[in-house]
A = this chain, B = another copy of it.
Amino acid sequence: MTRTEQKERTRRVLLDTARRLFAARGYAGVGLAELVRESGVTKGALYHHFTGKTDLFRAVLEEVQREVARRVAEAAEAEDDPWAQLKAGCAEFVAAGADAEVQRIMLIDGPAVLGWNDWRAIDEATSVRHLTDALTVLVADGTLPAQPVAPLARLLSGAMNEAALWLAQSAPADLADTQAALSRLLDALRASPAPPKS
């Protein structure tokens, strides 16, 4: 076996094992010893590929984020008009977040381990970017009232993160309720006339 092949294989098994363990018991709950034992390598290998435990976690998180972003993008592209794309993308994001693996890594441990700033940067570069793009289009074509897009994107992103967390450990009935609530929220944004005096 060539050296580059071997290197890639080792890196993959480390990433896969780390993802599985981090998702199962959380970042703090799994030690390097167990990680390398399950991977069938040694700590030397791990520190050859990554600068440390948090760096390995970062790599896992980025992979998860990319997967979710891909799912969302695909769901959106299956629709035609921009509004349907937004709603499909949001629904798919919540569905993707319902996966427990994604949850623990992306939403729970992510900000705590990497710090909110780093986490936000990754989030921004993947999931939130699509959301911002979609909202920008909808504001430009008049579907949504003119307004700064970035804050709205953050609000919606936060709402969907929470929705995903909520879903993972609740009855399937709640899934429908939450999806419905999110759908209503988005529709309300669209339908909103001049707001009543507040």
Contact = CB atoms under 8 A, between A and B. Distances in A.
| Interface of A: prevailing SS | helix
Interface in A152-188: 152, 154-163, 165-166, 169, 174, 177-178, 180-185, 187-188
A192 interface: yes
Copies of this chain in its oligomeric complex:
2
Interface in A83-131: 83-84, 87, 103, 107-109, 111-113, 115-117, 120
Given A158-B162, A162-B154, A184-B147, A191 B193 contact: yes
A152 B179 CA distance: 10
A189 interface: yes
Interface string A16-60: 000000000011100000000000000000000000000000000
Contact of A159 (B103, B156, B187): B156
Interface of A: 26-28, 83-84, 87, 103, 107-109, 111-113, 115-117, 120, 145, 147-148, 150-152, 154-163, 165-166, 169, 174, 177-178, 180-185, 187-193, 195-196, 198
A57 to B, nearest CB: 12
A116 B181 contact: no
Contacts of A192: 184, 187-188, 191-192
Contact of A151 (B166, B189, B195): B166
A156 B161 CA distance: 11
A195 B189 contact: no
A87 B198 CA distance: 9
18 contacts: A108-B115, A112-B112, A117-B169, A147-B180, A148-B180, A151-B178, A151-B180, A151-B182, A152-B185, A154-B162, A155-B159, A155-B162, A156-B159, A157-B162, A161-B162, A184-B195, A188-B188, A191-B196
